[in-house]
């Protein structure tokens, strides 16, 4: 069989290119119908279109040079000013980034460089609750910082006493989540920040998930504890615009209490024949579209829009939590009160339940330690509460009656979960990734 070259000698028409792409997405997650419970924060078609138009309008512009594109500089400055106000940081300074992971990478690098410059620390350590997002492990790995992972309490929240015990002379940063991704619970931010301050260490709030939901939940009367720069000892904060900010993918912010702290994030190089090089974050070229779309959505929604969407998300989450808790055999993990939560079972194989739901078109993330299924609720899910719960009741009842679940990922998760050390799973996962990113099988 002779292979045609990968890059065809002749290009296709505009229409053909798009037709081929649309044909390729038929098996993609059906987020438009509210059947996917992670990855896409769907707030409706009008919002998506504003973001799409703003994005394409500024798609070619490059945020690496704010001098060449004063429009992008202004969008970014206004996005940051809005965030600083929302998070009560009158002196706060930050940058936009490509996402939560980059915001977190920057916060860890900044803390490392600050500690090196101000405290002479050469073997930095990072103190993390075990529930914190893996981006912190990634940052530790990339930047040569040793992560100290501290088990969370029985309520899945950071354990302040255990965190305190983990802070040592080399600690450069302590972290708490508002809320955590796996269980959607708020870490005790005030207590953790006070402890860090007492020890003379920086403290980061990971509000990647909750950042653009919590301030509005609070205004709607939900009992939201202080989690931002109002809290003494909080020195930096990350919040994702491409989650509950409903912006296009590729938009997050990282904020520091002062511009002096932010300085440790910046990179400059004046020794290059190509001229003076200055870059605020990880990326070199920075996509103008993501910055423009984030600005556009903040302007389009305004406070009223975010309050309306927050109300929908919180009401929908409550209905789902109550519905799930009422299914015999199912129970929530911890006491989640926001828009994200996990549930498990003492009587049913929870992964088999995940497979049974998947066979009915519902994509739920699987969690480990303990095994659980996970929901991230968006405005689009308001329309599917009843059908979802009906299917969940039916699937749980069928499993309880001894009927086997359809084939899915239960066997793999069961196998991974049975490994005594999560490190043992890493070789298996690497092999899986080699396969995922193998191009040799493509046409």
Ligand X SMILES: *Cc1c(COP(=O)(O)O)cnc(C)c1O
Residues that bind ligand X (CB under 6 A): 99-101, 104, 133, 135, 177, 181, 206, 208-209, 240, 252
Considering the complex, state which of residue 80 and residue 405 has its C-beta at the smaller distance from ligand X: 80
442 and 24 Cβ atoms separated by less than 8 Å: no
Gap between the Cα atoms of 93 and 30, Å rounded: 38
We find the least distance from the C-beta atom of residue 177 to ligand X, in angstroms, to be 5
Considering the complex, state which of residue 110 and residue 177 has its C-beta at the smaller distance from ligand X: 177
Cβ burial 417-441 (10 Å sphere, 16+ → b, else e): eeeeeeeeeeeeeeeeeeeeeeeee
Gap between the Cα atoms of 327 and 389, Å rounded: 9
368 and 315 Cβ atoms separated by less than 8 Å: no
We find the least distance from the C-beta atom of residue 133 to ligand X, in angstroms, to be 3
How far does CA 370 lie from the centroid of its chain?
Answer: 20
With helix as H, strand as E and coil as C, how does 115-138 read? HHHHHCCCCCEEEEECCCCCHHHH
We find the least distance from the C-beta atom of residue 101 to ligand X, in angstroms, to be 3
Angle ∠(93,160,419) on CA atoms, nearest 5: 100
Q: Which two tokens stand for residue 307?
A: 């309050």
We find the least distance from the C-beta atom of residue 183 to ligand X, in angstroms, to be 11
Chain residue whose CB lies nearest ligand X: 100
Considering the complex, state which of residue 375 and residue 395 has its C-beta at the smaller distance from ligand X: 375
We find the least distance from the C-beta atom of residue 221 to ligand X, in angstroms, to be 24
Considering the complex, state which of residue 293 and residue 356 has its C-beta at the smaller distance from ligand X: 293
Considering the complex, state which of residue 250 and residue 379 has its C-beta at the smaller distance from ligand X: 250
We find the least distance from the C-beta atom of residue 246 to ligand X, in angstroms, to be 14
Gyration radius of the chain over CA positions: 23
Helix H or strand E encompassing 172: strand 171-177
Considering the complex, state which of residue 133 and residue 157 has its C-beta at the smaller distance from ligand X: 133
We find the least distance from the C-beta atom of residue 54 to ligand X, in angstroms, to be 19
Residues 6 or more apart whose CB falls under 8 angstroms from that of 425 comprise 416, 419
Considering the complex, state which of residue 159 and residue 206 has its C-beta at the smaller distance from ligand X: 206
We find the least distance from the C-beta atom of residue 268 to ligand X, in angstroms, to be 25
Considering the complex, state which of residue 134 and residue 422 has its C-beta at the smaller distance from ligand X: 134
| Alpha helix stretches (DSSP H) within 95-178 | 100-119, 135-143, 160-166
């Amino acid at each position: 069989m002779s292979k045609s070259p990968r890059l065809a000698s002749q290009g296709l028409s505009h229409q053909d290119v798009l037709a081929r792409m649309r044909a390729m997405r038929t098996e993609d997650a059906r987020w438009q119908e509210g059947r996917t419970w992670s990855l896409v924060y769907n707030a409706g078609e009008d919002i998506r279109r504003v973001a799409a138009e703003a994005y394409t309008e500024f798609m070619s512009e490059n945020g690496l040079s704010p001098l060449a594109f004063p429009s992008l500089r202004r969008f970014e400055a206004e996005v940051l000013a809005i965030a600083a106000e929302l998070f009560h940081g009158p002196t706060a300074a930050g940058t936009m980034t490509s996402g939560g992971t980059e915001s977190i990478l920057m916060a860890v690098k900044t803390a490392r460089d600050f500690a090196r410059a101000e405290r002479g620390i050469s073997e930095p350590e990072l103190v993390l609750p075990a529930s914190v997002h893996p981006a912190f492990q990634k940052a530790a790995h990339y930047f040569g910082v040793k992560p100290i992972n501290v088990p969370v309490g029985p309520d899945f929240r950071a354990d302040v006493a255990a965190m305190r015990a983990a802070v040592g002379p080399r600690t450069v940063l302590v972290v708490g989540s508002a809320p955590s991704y796996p269980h959607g619970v708020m870490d005790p931010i005030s207590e953790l920040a006070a402890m860090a301050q007492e020890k003379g260490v920086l403290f980061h709030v990971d509000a990647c998930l909750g950042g653009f939901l919590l301030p509005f939940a609070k205004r709607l009367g939900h009992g939201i504890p202080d989690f931002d720069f109002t809290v003494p000892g909080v020195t930096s904060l990350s919040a994702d615009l491409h989650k509950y900010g409903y912006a296009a993918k590729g938009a997050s912010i990282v904020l520091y209490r002062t511009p002096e702290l932010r300085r440790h994030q910046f990179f400059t190089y004046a020794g290059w024949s190509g001229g003076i090089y200055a870059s605020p974050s990880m990326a070199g070229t920075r996509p103008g579209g993501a910055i423009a779309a984030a600005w556009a959505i903040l302007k389009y929604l305004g406070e009223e829009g975010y309050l309306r969407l927050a109300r929908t998300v919180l009401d929908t989450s409550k209905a789902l939590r109550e519905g799930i808790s009422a299914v015999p055999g199912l129970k929530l993990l911890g006491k989640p009160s926001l828009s994200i939560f996990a549930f498990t079972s003492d009587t049913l194989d929870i992964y088999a339940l995940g497979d049974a739901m998947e066979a009915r078109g519902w994509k739920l993330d699987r969690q480990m330690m303990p095994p659980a299924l996970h929901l991230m609720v968006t405005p689009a899910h308001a329309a599917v509460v009843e059908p979802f719960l009906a299917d969940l009741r039916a699937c749980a009842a069928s499993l309880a009656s001894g009927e086997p679940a359809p084939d899915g990922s239960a066997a793999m998760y069961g196998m991974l979960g049975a490994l005594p050390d999560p490190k043992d799973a890493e070789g298996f996962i690497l092999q899986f990734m080699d396969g995922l990113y193998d191009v040799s099988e493509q046409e």
